[in-house]
Amino acid sequence: MNLTGKRPTFKKTTQLHPYRIIIWLTLLIFSLFILRGVEQKTIISPFEPTPIPTRGAESYAAEGNAHFQAGDLGKAIEAFQKAVEVEPANPVLWVDLARIQVYSSALLTTDAQRSQRLAEAMESSRRALELTTENSYVHAIRAFVLDWSAGAAKDIETRNQLLTEAEQEIVFALSLDNQNTLALAYYAEILVDQQNLIQAETYINQALEREDKEMDVYRIHGYVRESLGYYGDAIRSYQMAAEIMPNYTYLYILIGINYRQLKQYERALEYFAKAALINEQLGIKDPAPYLAIGKTYSQMGEFYIASRNVEKVLEFDPENPEVYGTLGMIYFRARNYETAIYALRCATVGCSAEESCLVRNCKEGDAEIIIPPTDLTTTTVVYYYTYGSVLAGMHRPNNDYCREAMKVLGQVRNSFSNDAVIMQIVKTSEEICQSFGYSPVN
C-alpha cells in the first residue's frame, strides 16, 4: 500500500564501462580502415567478381604451335600475335610468328594477298632482329622470310636484291651455329632459288643427317629434288613432311603437282581432293585445291570438268583475279576464245560487273562485282600474254580487239624483255595486229 501518494519508480541507472568504449572505438576505426582500402582498391571486396588470371606468352605460343600442327594457320598467327603482345621483348616469339606468316602465304591465291602476308612476316622478323643480333635461329628465320619474299617480288631487280640479303642472313646464322638444322635447310632453299642446285644438295643433305628435323627439312629436300627433275624423290620427301604436319594442305598441293609432272593425273587429283577435304573439315575456304584440280583436268583434256571445278571457286571467292585467270586458261585450251577473253580480262586489266557476270554465269539476285586491274608480275604474266594473244587472234574489223591487244602486249614487252620465250609469243601476236595496221605500244 502506497502511503506517500507517489508512483513507484522502476528505472535503474547504469554506468558505461570504460573497456566497452575502447572496444567500440577500435571496431569503428577498423571499419573505417576497411572502407578506405576497398575504395582505394588495396583491399578487394568479397562481393566483386573473381578476376580472370592473365595468360602468359608461353601459353599463347603453345596454342599457336598446336594450331600450326593442326593446319589452321590463321588461328596460329592470332595466338602468336597475342604472345608477342604479352612478351614483346622475346625475339624467338617474333620469328616463330614470322615463320607461320610465311607458310600461311602459300595458302593465299592472289599476289596482293601473298605480298601483304609476307610484308607482315618481314616486319615480325625485323622486330626480332631489333632485340638480338647474336641468335642463329632468328637470323635463319629472317633469311627464310627474305627468300620467300624474293619469290613474290614484282621485278627481277627486287628479287635478286632480296635473295642477296637472304644469303647474307643465312651465312651469318651459320657462322653463329654451323649445326643449326633449319639454317642448313633454308640455305639449300635459297641456293635453289639462285639456281645453284649442286651446292643446294650439299646443304640439304647435311640437314637430313641431323636428328632434330622439322617439316621444313623434308619440304626443302622435296623442293631441291623437284628442281632437279626428280619428281618421284620429291613426292617422297613431301610425303614425309606431310607426316609431320598432316593438315598443312600446301604439302598435298606440292605432292599433287609432282604427280602431275609425272602425268599420273589420278594420283594428283587424289592429293588435291585430300587438301580440299581437310580445308572443308577445318572450315577454311581455300581455292587452291580446286584451282589445282581444274588445271589437272585441263591437262587431261577434260575441259568441262576443269571449268566446273574452277567455277565452283567463284561461288565463294568471286573477287579473286587468279580464279578468273585459271578459268580463262581453261577456256583458251578448250578453244572457247570469246569466253576466254572475258575471263582473262578480269584476271589482268580488270572488268566491269557485267563482264564478270558473263564469266560467273550470274543468276537473278547475284552480287554485281567489279574486278580491278591486277599487277603484271611473274605470276600473272601468263594471263597477260595469253589475253593479248587471244585478242590478236580474234581481231575482226568490227571489234577493234587489236587496239587492246597491242596495249597489253606492250606492257609485257616492257616488263619481260629479257625472257626469250615470252618475247616470242609477244612478237608473234604483235605481228598479227600489225598486219591489220596497228602499231606497237611502248
Residue 61: strand pairing partners: none
Q: Count of residues for the chain? A: 442
Confidence bin at 212 (pLDDT 50/70/90): confident
Q: Are residues 361 and 391 in the same domain?
A: no
Q: Are residues 425 and 392 in the same domain?
A: yes
The DSSP H or E segment spanning 150 is helix 136-151
326 in any annotated domain? yes
293 in any annotated domain? yes
Query: Mean of the pLDDT values across residues 20-36?
Result: 63
Confidence bin at 20 (pLDDT 50/70/90): low
pLDDT for the residue 21: 64
- Is the confidence at residue 441, as pLDDT, over 90? no
What letter would DSSP give residue 414? Answer: H
Q: How many whole angstroms separate alpha carbon 418 and alpha carbon 426? A: 12
- Per the CB < 8 A criterion, the answer to whether 188 and 170 are in contact is no
* CB-neighbour burial class of residue 28 (10 A; exposed 0-12, middle 13-18, buried 19+): exposed
pLDDT in tens, 174-188: 999 999 999 999 999
pLDDT in tens, 265-279: 999 999 999 999 998
- Is the confidence at residue 53, as pLDDT, over 60? no
74 in any annotated domain? no
What letter would DSSP give residue 51? Answer: P
**CATH code of the domain in which 359 resides:** 1.25.40.10
Number of domains in the chain: 2
Cell numbers 602468336: residue: 80
Q: Are residues 325 and 388 in the same domain?
A: no
- Is the confidence at residue 149, as pLDDT, over 90? yes
Confidence bin at 17 (pLDDT 50/70/90): low
Q: How many whole angstroms separate alpha carbon 14 and alpha carbon 379? A: 102
Query: Mean of the pLDDT values across residues 339-357?
Result: 96
- Note down the domain range covering 408: 375-442
Residue 375 in grid coordinates: 599487277
Q: Which residue has the higher pLDDT, 244 or 10?
A: 244
Q: Which residue has the higher pLDDT, 382 or 46?
A: 382
* Amino acid in position 377: T
- Is the confidence at residue 51, as pLDDT, over 70? no
The answer to which of 5-9, 171-175, 191-195, 400-404 has the lowest mean pLDDT is: 5-9
Q: Are residues 359 and 326 in the same domain?
A: yes
- Is the confidence at residue 14, as pLDDT, over 80? no
Q: Are residues 314 and 384 in the same domain?
A: no
Q: How many whole angstroms separate alpha carbon 149 and alpha carbon 395? A: 39
| Mutual angle of helices 288-299 and 249-261, in 10-degree steps | 10
- Is the confidence at residue 124, as pLDDT, over 80? yes
Instruction: Kindly compute the dihedral angle of the four CA atoms of residues 351, 276, 300, 346, in this order, to the nearest 10 degrees.
Output: 0
Q: Are residues 361 and 400 in the same domain?
A: no
pLDDT for the residue 37: 58
Q: Which residue has the higher pLDDT, 212 or 358?
A: 358
Query: DSSP letter string over 35-50?
Result: HHHHHTTSS--TTSPP
Q: What is the largest CA-CA distance in the chain?
A: 151
Residue 164 in grid coordinates: 642477296
- Is the confidence at residue 134, as pLDDT, over 70? yes
241 in any annotated domain? no
Q: What percent of the chain has pLDDT over 70?
A: 88
Q: The whole model's pTM is what?
A: 0.81
pLDDT for the residue 38: 54
Confidence bin at 22 (pLDDT 50/70/90): low
pLDDT for the residue 422: 96
- Per the CB < 8 A criterion, the answer to whether 331 and 346 are in contact is no
Q: Are residues 317 and 362 in the same domain?
A: yes
Q: Are residues 359 and 409 in the same domain?
A: no
Query: DSSP letter string over 290-345?
Result: HHHHHHHHHHTT-HHHHHHHHHHHHHH-TT-HHHHHHHHHHHHHTT-HHHHHHHHH
Q: How many whole angstroms separate alpha carbon 307 and alpha carbon 300? A: 12
321's CB contacts (< 8 A; 6+ apart) are 110, 346, 347, 348, 371, 374, 380
- Is the confidence at residue 370, as pLDDT, over 70? yes
What average pLDDT does the chain have? 90
pLDDT for the residue 11: 47
Confidence bin at 3 (pLDDT 50/70/90): very low
391 in any annotated domain? yes
- Is the confidence at residue 42, as pLDDT, over 80? no
Q: Are residues 379 and 405 in the same domain?
A: yes
- Is the confidence at residue 44, as pLDDT, over 60? no
302 in any annotated domain? yes
